[in-house]
Each structure stands twice: as C-alpha cells, then as structure tokens.
Amino acid sequence: MNIEDIWSIKTWGQLAFDPLRPRLFFTESVPDRRKNRMSHRIMMMDTGPSRAVAALTAGPSDQAPAPSPDGRWLGFVSRRSGSAQVWRLPLDGGDPEQVTYIQGGIKQFQWAPDGRGMVVVAHIERGLLEREKSAEEPGLGAPDSELERYFNRDVKHIVHQYYKLDGTGYFDQGRDQLVWVAMDDGHMELLTSGFDHFSEPAFSPDGESIFFVHRPYDPDSPPHPSVTSIERMNLKTRERFRIPLPEWMMHALAVSPDGQSLAFVASKPEDHGYGLAVLYRLDMATNELIDLSSATDRPVGDESGTDVPGTGTARPIWRNDQVLMLLSDRGRVTVTEFDRGQTRTLFDEKRVVYDFACQGDSLAMAVADPTHPSGIVLATVGAAQESPLWAPVPWSEHDGPVAPEEIWAEESDGTRVHTWCLRPPHHTDPIPVVLEIHGGPMAMYGYRYFHEFQCLVAAGYAVVYTNPRGSQGYGWEFCRSIMGNWGDKDYRDVMAGLDAALKQWPDLDPERLGVAGGSYGGFMVNWIVSHTDRFRAAVTMRSVVNRFSAMGSSDLGWLRVPQYGSKPWWEDPAPYWQQSPLKYASDIHTPLLIEHQEQDYRLPVEQGEQLYSALKYLGRTVEMVLYPNESHGMSRTGQPWHRVHRLRTIIGWFDRYLETR
C-alpha cells in the first residue's frame, strides 16, 4: 500500500431502496486531488441478477439520495447553486432541478408519504425565510451604515455557555428550523421558529403529523447542549405536543408502519459518554417506554473508527413489529433485529456495517473490513447467505492491504484486552513496532480498514492496536471504569496488549518501539512517554496536554466537571492537574512529534503548544506540525493533501528514530 492510494479509495454509503423498482441508490465519495476536497455523486445499483452499477449524477457535491414514495423523483442534497439545497432527479429520465432556494442552506429533508411535499431542516437567521443569495460587497456610494454592517459581519458576540463546536466553528445567529416545501408550486412555510433548534423530521404513515427532535437554546437552562425532547406536530392545525420522556440526548427517530409506536436512540447525559447508546420503543397510545437494547450491554450505532469513513445515515428501521439497528460489539458492527426482550444478529461477520437500508425482506449493507475500505452487500432477511461483497478496489488481488491477526491479552488484574497486529508480509530483520491508540476513549478499533496502519506496514513497520478499558463494545463497566481516571487501567491495558503481541510474534523487535495516537490516544502517548522510556519515538496528535486549561478552551470542556468532583476547575485544580501530561513533562525523554490542527475546538491548539514549549525549554527532542483551517477530525475528513502530508510526516518521524540495526 502507498500513501497515494488514498486518491483512489472510494467509499459508499447513504443507502436507499427504490420503492418501485429493483435497485438501490447510494452516495459515492472519493478525494479530488485537483480541488483538494472530497467529491460526492449519486450512484445506482441494480439489485437484480446483473448487479450493474451506474452513476446518476456527476457530482461533485451530491449526497443523501432519497426517492419519493411514488418513485417519480430522487431527491438529494447538492451545493450546485453555492449552498446546500435539495435537488430532485426525475427517475423516468431528465435533468436534475433545484427544489429549495433557502438562504443559509438545508441540512436534512424528508419526503411526505404522498410525495406532494417535504419537510426540510434549514438554517434560518433572524427568523426570516429568505431566498438563497451570496453576500456581495457594497457598491460605490454605499452609506457608512451599510459598510459598517458588511465589514463587521464576522464579529462574534458571545452570550451562551455553548458557543462553538469542533468541525462547525463559532455559532452564528441562525437556528435550525423545519420548513414545509410543496412540490407542485414550490411554496415554502416555516413550521417552527424561535431561538431553539429542530431536526430529524419523521412523518406519521398517514402524513398528518411529523415527529422531530427539539434542542433548547436557552442560556438560563442547565448548560448541557445535547439534551433534547421529541415533539409531534399536527400538520393541519400546526399544534405541537411534547412527548413525555426523560431529559436524555435523543436522536434517530423512526415511526412504526401503523403509526402507533416510535423508535429512537438515547443516551443519558449523566453518563458523560461512558454509557450505552440505547434503542427505545415508545408505545404512543399507552406511553409505555421499552428498552430494546441495553440488556445486550452493547451500544447501538457504529462506534468503530477509521481514517477513510464512508457516508452513513443509519437510523432505526421498522420491519413488521421489530426494529433493525446497528450494534457495536467487540470490534464488530452488525445489523441487529430488536424485539421486546429479544435480539437477533443478522449476518454476523468480522466486519463493520456502517450504514444499511431495508425494504420488506431485502437488506442492503454498506460494510468495511480490514482489507476493504468500503463495499456493499445485498441480502434477504432470514436467508442463510448474502450476496458477494461489491467493493471495487484500486489494488490487485496480490498487492494490497495486509490482514490483521488478533489475540486477547490479559492484564495483571485479569482484564482481557482485544489486540490486533499487522505485520509486513515480506521481511528478514526483526520488525520495528508502532503501538497505535484510538481516540475517545469511548470508541473502538474494529474489523475495519485503516489507511494509516497499512501505510506503516508498507514502510516496514508492524502495527499493534488494542481496545483498552474505556473503549466501547465490551460492556458498560468496561467503558465506564476509567471515567475521571485516565492513565491507570487503560495505560496498563495498552501495554499488556503490546507485551502480548511481542510474545505472540517473535519476529517483532522489542527494542525498536514507537507509539502514536490522536485525541485521547494522544493523551495516552503523552502519558506513556512521561511514564516510561521504553519507546524510541512517539507521535502525539491533537492531544490532551493540560486538563486545567482545556476545561475553559475546549468546546465542551465545562461538561467534564462532574467527572472530577463537584467544584469547578479554578476552585479545585488538583484532579485536573493530576490528569495532565504536562505535569510530567520533565520526565519525557522520548523524541516526540506533536501534530495539531489550528481550528481544533475540541482540543484547541494551545494544548499542543504548551507541550512543545515545555519540551523545548527542557532541551528535549521535539518538533511540532500545525495544519491550518483544519478541525479535530482532520485525519478522517480533512483536506486530502493535508492527510497525505500527515502520513508522510508520521512515517518520516519513525524512519528517523527506529532505524535499522
């Protein structure tokens, strides 16, 4: 594998069945080297015997295909006009036409059951539904008032606790509102208004009501930005009703075919991310709330990580009286059927299903495995087998990714640690090893392709990676056990995984070790090199360095206070400082490369700069690479040329310090 292979890696997702014909619509994504961005177009697969695949749109910004219920149109989101708007393509032939022209753009849309209209989620400023336009510089002779307004449009006046979000930036004055759009004449009408946010519209089967998620934006309310409610609106009277539910973080709504029940996913804010995402079923006639998934002790949804993600819109799907949803379990992600008190995994394989669609007994899955970044599988629910994987790849059968080997390490207290190892297929000398640590920590490595790992293997390194305590997919207690106490059990777990790999594969060189990780994984790199000199080189990426300062500078810092006690960080700094690798900087002797993104709001760039300044002051071997105009997720979704540069830099650093004997 080569770093440059990233330009040829295509991923597929956002699956949707045609309601009338045997075919499947989906989004294809691939990096564009000339434009330095991801390119997206809409594709179609014949689900009959031919399995023929064709492009329906040329791109480069077409996503989220959704056919109208009558099969006449294929709706999708595109930036063809300059901002994200809904377009529709006639499925009996013809060119796409623009449906919405809303200033601020749209984020989601949902067809009405009769196909005569749709509800879109639009970003509305000042409560005004305005026609799409670009901001033009004032012309000659413009009054000072207009010039002042134009040249100060980027000034930020902040009044809320929650005022920025990584990947989004600083919030503007707009709100996400629901808008009705008629298909016959294009008439648009605001369904919601005010200072709150609304999203995820889902129609009742008769089309008379919509359900949606309501997120308050009140500066005087308890400052948790993710707590939501679910509401129902009668589209004839415009009356709204709040469904009585706890104060949870709720999303992914799906209405049952009979309109009597609602499925949704919820997490509890008091778990601080260390809990389980749970699938619930609400009987709206009796208000009976049924927990469908927590008995599995596994989270619903896809918790796996990768640096070449496919687009996914997975949400619960009703099939008869059961609900289908993804479930993350020990590195796997599967489509699972949930009934009252019972679960059944469909087509359980060592892979990750990151998106799926179901129509009757027909099931389509967007999947990834360690040697395939993306692919599509068709199946029939209840059948013993599925179709062969459709996954065109840019490499030959004999020249491509290396498959991992796996073991279960055992930590000294008996904890079993899921561990994988990728080894170069052809080598003579003992192999230098890079230990990789995932972010989160509430995530998981899984049976999924990682381009970074494969490029390290191609450069002659073995890669060892583990799911230590704190990871999802191994149970509630396994994940929660490190809350507020990083660098103890998780540190022992990753080291136990490394030691087990060195013992299992004698061709690994225990003298030439490197360590790398990002976000929480970056914290672990910082913690490891400040607590042992065992590694010859390290790469810490977008990392946690100073817990105390991050509490005030991170987009979600203040939410972590309950993990460390009852007092804010300035009143009781001790637990935050104890959890800060900067406290132990004097003990770092390992050559360290610090990578950070300048527009990272989750762990702002000051985190990396503090560690760099400290180590430079001490005269230690340290370098820092900063990427402009990039957020915390750059390694996955950033500008492709930055991702290429990042991989070259990481491999170059290890080449410098893990030299051949």
Structure-token pair, residue 497: 């995984």
Question: Does a cis peptide bond (omega within 30 degrees of 0) precede residue 219?
Answer: no
Q: Give the 3-state secondary structure of residue 612.
A: helix
Helix (H) or strand (E) segment spanning residue 8: none
Q: Angle CA(178)–CA(179)–CA(181) in degrees, nearest 5?
A: 150
Helix (H) or strand (E) holding 500: helix 489-504
Would you call 388 helix, strand, or coil by DSSP? coil
Give the Å distances, CA to CA, from 65 to 51, 77, 78, 586. 19, 7, 10, 54
Q: How big is the chain, counted in residues?
A: 661
* Residues sharing a CB contact under 8 Å with residue 165, sequence separation 6 or more, in sequence order: 171, 555, 601
Question: Is 204 one of the catalytic residues?
Answer: no
Structure-token match 């200072």, residue found: 195
Is 519 among the residues known to form the active site?
Answer: yes
Between CA 656 and CA 645 the distance in angstroms is 16
Cα–Cα distance between 11 and 28 in angstroms, integer?
6
Beta bridge partners of 196: none
Q: What is the dihedral of CA 391, 393, 397, 403, to 10 degrees?
A: -80
- Which of the 8 DSSP states describes residue 609? H
Given 293, 519, 530, 580, which residue is catalytic?
Answer: 519
390 closest CA partner among 57, 56, 64, 51? 51
In 49-146, the DSSP E strands lie at 53-55, 63-67, 73-78, 85-90, 97-98, 106-111, 117-124
Q: Distance between CA atoms of 106 and 84, rounded to whole angstroms? A: 6
Instruction: List the catalytic residues.
Output: 519, 632
